[in-house]
Chain A
Amino acid sequence: MEHRGLGLLALLAALAPCCCAAPGPTLWPMPLSVKTSPRLLVLSRENFSIYHDPSSTAGPSCSLLQEAFRRYYDYIFDFNKSRLNPAKHNSAAELKQLLVSVVLESECDLYPSITSDESYTLAVEGPVAFLKANRVWGVLRGLETFSQLIYQDSYGTFTVNESNIIDSPRFPHRGILIDTARHFLPIKTILKTLDAMAFNKFNVLHWHIVDDQSFPYQSVAFPELSNKGSYSLSHVYTPNDVRTVIEYARLRGIRVIPEFDSPGHTQSWGKGQKNLLTPCYNGPKQSGTFGPINPILNSTYCFLSQFFKEVSTMFPDQFVHLGGDEVEFTCWESNPEVIAFMKKAGFGRDFQRLQSFYIQKLLGIVSTLNKGAIVWQEVFDDHAKLNPGTVVQVWKNEMYHVTQAAVTAAGFPVILSAPWYLDWISYGQDWRNYYKVDPLDFDGSQEQKKLVIGGEACLWGEYVDATNLTPRLWPRASAVGERLWSQQNIKDIEDAYDRLTIHRCRMTRRGIAAEPLFTGYCNF
């Protein structure tokens, strides 16, 4: 691969760490296989278009692809800041078309899933480039890569190197967690996040939608939950809002996995659902405060059945996240009815067993609804009996490799988040730490390692809302994005720095206020 102006670069490098190398293709995340030739092609707004290959299983009736074609056309030709089309380079050949071909049944009107095929090949040569994928999901990934290959030379001409790319992700579950309970996030912010996720090939939005502090999810079956539990009536996600997010995500090949965390983290549920939470006691008398969901009442499971039935319909993804983290036992310990129940059930004073009792019943409910479950690691750590296929999300930072080994040894799939808590900000280039993580860096067999289905960058909301979410997420999450998509041997951190600075500039150009990695500027 040839860089023009390498000598000048070296000189400039001595002066200042400049982000803006000579213009050229910059890919993020790095695809599986990239072969670029120095042969250049030019393209222009007027003469270039993206078409369905006649042999494709998808055509103009596939709105997911139609929308994508339009979106990427705009991203390529920089609809906001496009300079007037400059004179054509007479010497270079023209790229007139990108032909898109879906090989297998397109899945155009389906929702993406954990087994979705995101692979694609891209052959860029004049006058027609070919993007081939098994399913529409691969087309989406390929369009993003294609858009990253195109750059403007110093005359403003849209240029692309002839290239051949074969690509598919290392891990199938590549997620971002957003928390809309600690701070409400306006829909616009969520949609912008989905855009940025698509630029980085993330494919799961883990929506931690409710928690102690607020319940913004408007339930049709239980409207009082949000009426009483949201911060205010304008801090609510209506069913329409939820549908908007899900469809916007689908069009970008992103799954929306809701998390309704219980039995802990549920203070806000008690505002609109009486008798759901455990009343805490001060000696013989109720203290007036409440603890986790009350696991000993039939009404609890009646409620949960109805509630999760609605959730299962509202959210089409195969999986639902049930939480299960950080359950405080003190309130349960104080409640005489709970104590009596424990005795009768033979749990003694082992509240982990009560917790597991609850979780197992909830898992049963969810399984009846034909959904898979994802839980936080405590559910596994505290010995609940899990159905095979239950996914365990590892989040505790201490010795997480050991946890990964234990969970996979027991045969359960793992989502890794522990080293990727992006809400934990610090001074300097912390993206490097996220990049250096290897999700398979633990003691285990090949079979065990296969159970690591991916990871999630978490942006908990205690200190985050729409004012600072985007710069805090990007480009730091991009480091996680490459780690989850690209091959294990893509580890050169200085090359990553060079590519990520440019990818970051590209994101800002596309309307994502990604913060700078370091001193420098964007070339536009």
Chain B
Amino acid sequence: MMVATDDFVEADNVEAIISRIEHKSRKIESLLKQSKLVEALKTALEGSPPNTRDERCKSANWIAVHRAIMAMKDLDALFSSLDPEYYNILMKYLYRGLSTGDRPTCDPVPADSRKTHGEGRLGVHTSFPSRHHKYSMMIIAIVI
């Protein structure tokens, strides 16, 4: 009985989470149209569903974050303005992207860039998207 109740509560939450993600996606699209790429990525990373087990929620959020990541061009601006608390969340989505095997997502690009934010803090190794709008692969490693 308790399990059935939990399932019922989870289903309700899932619908709420999905509608929230849809609303977030519309906001991300409008930010991307205004060329506010960093804000779009921050919006995508905020409110990621932390404890849900529903695959639809995870997939819906992943699609929104993926859209924002693929639109990124200036990674210097991204890492200078992104709060460190978002690095872990961003890393998880990047590894999710790397695990898809989808060529446009995983295909690397010519330019490389490495940023390290000092001993004992987050170290980031990234690659930029090319000017010809090819898809990019961002690689982030946490160096502790």
Asked if A pairs with B, the answer is: no
Instruction: State the B residues within 8 Å of A (CB).
Output: none
Binding site for B on A (CB under 8 A): none
